[in-house]
Each structure stands twice: as structure tokens, then as C-alpha cells.
Amino acid sequence: MSKTQHIGATLKAGLWQRIPPFRLVLGLCPSLAITTSAENGLGMGLALAFVVTLSNGIISSLRNVIPGKVRIASYIVIIATLVSIVEIVMKAFFFPLSEQLGIYIPLIVVNCIVLGRAEGFASKNPPLISMADGISIGVGYTLSLTLIGSIRELLGSGSWFGLRVFGESFEPLAFLILAPGAFITIGILLGLQNLFSRWRGEKFIQS
């Protein structure tokens, strides 16, 4: 496989084959917690995409320098630095959104996706392709979070990105905005994705 094809395949993998949090069951906490509206989902997804792309790039450039024994600690320091940057930038330019996302922005540090990609991909591959992987996982995560947020916002409060969609007569299912709605929405979406994969005859159904 040529190099460009390889990068193309990596870019595509994050959108379906490895799409978090459905295929790659990592990073569930923010996907449950902040997806009460489509806007929050989009913001969180973009913040994570930024961190995972840059951390993959940096870690993969340093992969021959970092000693094996302290690699996890070094990864965490790199990731924490990037997360602090995101946190400060969001507070400066998107203050309402950063208040909404609350502690889940600093918690990107312990988001398993970032560390998982660092350990599983960036530590073994050259920088360019690692960044491609970061972009693809990040975009996949953004899409999933926006989708979950849209479903919960549409049915739970009858709006989308803050705009009212349904008329006055629509009675919102308030329970979707609360904690249980998050679990059930993601569970059902995961089931539907499995169903679709089985119908297409794909082979990567998780146990």
C-alpha cells in the first residue's frame, strides 16, 4: 500500500470502523455528560480533536526520545499541557460554552481516547500519519457527540442548536436531558450501529 493510500485509510477509519465512542468504547464520560445539546457536543468534540491531533503529532515525533519506562508519565504531561492551552483559550473566547462544559474540559487529560491513541498508534507510527489518525478520531468523536447531542436536544427540549424546531404542541421528553437519557440514547445508538453493520455483513462487531 502506498503512503498516500495508507494515510487515506487512516483518515477514513476514524469515521466508521473506529468511530469513538461507539466502536472504540473509550471516552464515554464526556459523551454522556455534556451531550445535553448539540452545541455542547460540537464544542467538546472540537476541543478533543485539537488535543488528540496535536498530542499524536508531538508524541510520535518524540517516540524515539522518550524512554520506555516513563512513557505514560511523559504522555500525560504532554497531554495535560495541551489541555491547559485549550482550557485557557476557551475561557478567553468562548466563555459561556466553557462554563457549560465545566470540569469536563480539564478532564480531557484523563480521557482514555487521547492516551489510548498515543499508546496504541502514535508511539509506533511516524508523525504525519499519527496526526492523520488524530484528525480522523477527533472528527469521528465530534460527529458522534453532535449526533447524540442533537437527538437529546431535539427530543428532550424540542430545539436544535438553540433554535426551536417543533411547534407549541410538542411535549418534550424531559427525561432525555437528564442523566438516564444519556445512557439510553447511547445504548440504543450503539445497538442500531451493530444492527446496521450486521445487515451490511461487516465483521467487526464487538462482543
Cβ proximity to other proteins: between 34 and 49 the closer is: 34
Cβ proximity to other proteins: between 70 and 165 the closer is: 70
Distance CA 137, CA 18 (A): 7
Eight-state DSSP code of residue 22: T
Residue 207 as a binder of other proteins (CB under 8 A): the answer is yes
Q: Are 162 and 51 in contact (CB under 8 A)?
A: no
Cβ proximity to other proteins: between 81 and 159 the closer is: 81
The residue among 54, 62, 59, 129 whose CA lies nearest residue 86 is: 54
Residue 128 as a binder of other proteins (CB under 8 A): the answer is no
Q: Which stretch binds other proteins (CB under 8 A): 43-51, 132-140, 149-157, 176-184?
A: 176-184
- The torsion angles phi and psi of 159, rounded to 5 degrees, stand at -135, 170
Cβ proximity to other proteins: between 83 and 132 the closer is: 83
Q: CA gyration radius for the chain? A: 18
Residue 88 as a binder of other proteins (CB under 8 A): the answer is yes
Cβ proximity to other proteins: between 11 and 87 the closer is: 87
Q: Which residues from 98-117 bind other proteins, rule CB under 8 A?
A: 102-103, 106-107, 109-112, 115
The residue among 23, 29, 24 whose CA lies nearest residue 194 is: 23
Distance CA 202, CA 194 (A): 9
Q: Considering only residues 7, 80, 147, 177, which one is a binding residue for other proteins as defined by CB under 8 A?
A: 80
Whether the link from the prior residue into 21 is cis, omega within 30° of 0, is yes
Which helix or strand (DSSP H or E) is residue 161 part of? Answer: none
Q: Are 4 and 129 in contact (CB under 8 A)?
A: no
Q: How far is the CB of 5 from other proteins (least distance, A)?
A: 31
Q: Which stretch binds other proteins (CB under 8 A): 7-15, 50-58, 134-142, 171-179?
A: 171-179
Report the interface residues with other proteins, using CB under 8 A: 25-26, 28-30, 32-33, 72-73, 76-77, 80-81, 83-84, 87-88, 102-103, 106-107, 109-112, 115, 175, 178-184, 186-188, 190-192, 194-195, 198, 206-207
